[in-house]
Structure 1
Amino acid sequence: MDQEKIMTMLEDLRGVPSVELKMNVPADQRMSLRGLRLDPLQGQIREVFFFDTPDLTLYHNGVVLRARRTQGKVDDTVVKLRPAVPAELPEELRLSKNLKVEMDVVKGAYVVSASLKGKRPPGSVREAIGDGGSIERLFTKEQRRFFADHKPAGADWNDVLPLGPIIVVLLKSFPEGFDWRTTIEQWNYPGEMPLLEMSIKTEPQGLIDAVVDWRAFVRKHGLTATGPQEPKTRRALEYFVKYVPKPEPVG
């Protein structure tokens, strides 16, 4: 990341309470993770669905709809605006306990997002995507208002369809010799190499220390952010939209 981009990033940190440093672990480096001495049996299984139009109108306009089932927990939903400018969000929304504003930082790039969360009883996601289910009603009233304020033309609730599921294994721990809680996510795309992401979170005032410690940690374990640092959401959407049935030609 060049000097100009760093200065812009620091300006955009205003109003952002959390920063997540991320890296995708290349396939040829994954054996190095054994040195972290993590226990894979402590991982948590998730089933993730996204909702978008067949041409990904929402994603291309910075809006993400997601629903998730998590082992041993309630279902949850998210309406995400990415990128987002926190100061431009309505005050009522900024004060909501369900809003999470965060900056994601990867090699050479960053983005600020605003995610409005919702909780649903177990089984709600499966019911919504089943025959006769309602994707719109899966999301809370607060989320539906947020969506209405930011959705692009041609992408209403009756225009979106479920894309997924994708099985995710999540593991959070403090690796030996490292003081930061580390999250490892493995996103399993059927028939393809899983995407493996490592990340840590920090408050803005601790960003410099976090970056220094993070770089030292990954280098110590022989890890480098080589290759494309591909966003998990984009890869999932582009993977599943390939299997959406194409409309029959007219005439």
Structure 2
Amino acid sequence: MIAPVEIKVNLDSPVTDALDALGCATEPPIRRDIWFAEARTHDAQNRFPLLAGHLTIRLRSGDRDDVTVALRPCDTDRLVGRWRSAFEQPEFSYRLEQDWCGSRRVVASSAISRRPTGSVAAALTAGDDPAHVLDSAQRQFVVMCTPGGVPIDHLVTLGPVSSETWPQVRVDGCAAHVERWTVGAVDVLELAVRVIPRDGETRLDLERRAATAQSVFEEAMGRRGLSVGKDHGVTKTHRVMAALTV
């Protein structure tokens, strides 16, 4: 299987300026609240054991609810059984994609469970352990595809983070997904475009086409007077989780 490429751009420009330059300022966003689940720990040197193990558990509630368990970067050699290929079910999706941000290129795998609107927020507000919110397929994914099976019982909840999304923003012919996360003093804006494999295309062909798309996309930001942030190995997920534990 050749996984699609998702090209991400984080902007250093002020968020309000960027939204205005992208034409988002006058368009109503989709608003959701996001929580993250982490292992309980008293280790000040490793505040995020799951994240350090490349595992992210995201719980989202708003116009629609979902729970995502993601491995990023993902060791594809550890993917077994049905987890070796993407699939789609009525209330469950499993995705494999290449995640590109600047010079960083990794493979990500995500098990996504869709939930009734408002149910995730209700469960967390009631004080449920976020581990109990995962479904059986997501637990199976963690047990089968992480080193030794990452312990995901007795988790703590971090959040909420305020999310605003503009799913289809035209940027020089590209359909970009624009997402803003806000918590405390942290206000981050990320743009993403997807490059989908074509019939008969090799992995190398796809990656060449994605590299061209990445250059064009980043140059488009410059033409709008926006500064593309450098990748220092700290994702927006890590930034907001750090802000939630201050």
TM-score scaled by structure 1?
0.78
Name the residue aligned to 1:203: 196
Alignment of 1:1-251 (within 5 A): 15-28=1-14, 31=17, 33-38=19-24, 40-53=26-39, 54=41, 55-71=47-63, 73=64, 75-95=65-85, 96-97=87-88, 98-131=93-126, 133-149=128-144, 150=146, 155-158=151-154, 160-175=155-170, 178-190=172-184, 192-203=185-196, 205=206, 206-227=209-230, 230-242=234-246
Residues 135, 213 of structure 1: alpha-carbon distance in 2 compared, 3 angstrom cutoff: same
Whether contact under 8 Å (2:158, 2:241) holds in the other structure is: yes
Residues 17, 136 of structure 1: alpha-carbon distance in 2 compared, 3 angstrom cutoff: same
* Whole-Å separation in 2 of the counterparts to 1:84 and 1:45: 29
3-state secondary structure, aligned to 1:31:
helix
Deviations 1:91-132 (A, max 9, x none): 312344221112221122122111011011123212332345
Residues 33, 162 of structure 1: alpha-carbon distance in 2 compared, 3 angstrom cutoff: closer
Deviations 1:10-45 (A, max 9, x none): xxxxx4422111121113485254333335433100
* Whole-Å separation in 2 of the counterparts to 1:182 and 1:26: 17
Residues 196, 132 of structure 1: alpha-carbon distance in 2 compared, 3 angstrom cutoff: closer
* Whole-Å separation in 1 of the counterparts to 2:104 and 2:170: 26
Gaps of 5+ in 2: 42-46, 198-205
Residues 102, 123 of structure 1: alpha-carbon distance in 2 compared, 3 angstrom cutoff: same
Whether contact under 8 Å (2:29, 2:165) holds in the other structure is: yes
3-state secondary structure, aligned to 2:237:
helix
Residues 67, 29 of structure 1: alpha-carbon distance in 2 compared, 3 angstrom cutoff: closer
Count of matched residue positions in the alignment of Structure 1 and Structure 2: 223
3-state secondary structure, aligned to 1:235:
helix
Whether contact under 8 Å (2:62, 2:118) holds in the other structure is: no
Residues 161, 41 of structure 1: alpha-carbon distance in 2 compared, 3 angstrom cutoff: same
Residues 129, 225 of structure 1: alpha-carbon distance in 2 compared, 3 angstrom cutoff: same
TM-score scaled by structure 2?
0.80
Indicate the structure (1 or 2) with the bigger Cα radius of gyration. Answer: 1
Residues 35, 123 of structure 1: alpha-carbon distance in 2 compared, 3 angstrom cutoff: closer
Deviations 1:27-69 (A, max 9, x none): 3485254333335433100110100024311111111111101
Identity within the alignment, %: 22
Gaps of 5+ in 1: 1-14, 243-251
3-state secondary structure, aligned to 2:242:
helix
Residues 34, 129 of structure 1: alpha-carbon distance in 2 compared, 3 angstrom cutoff: closer
Structure number with the higher strand fraction is 2
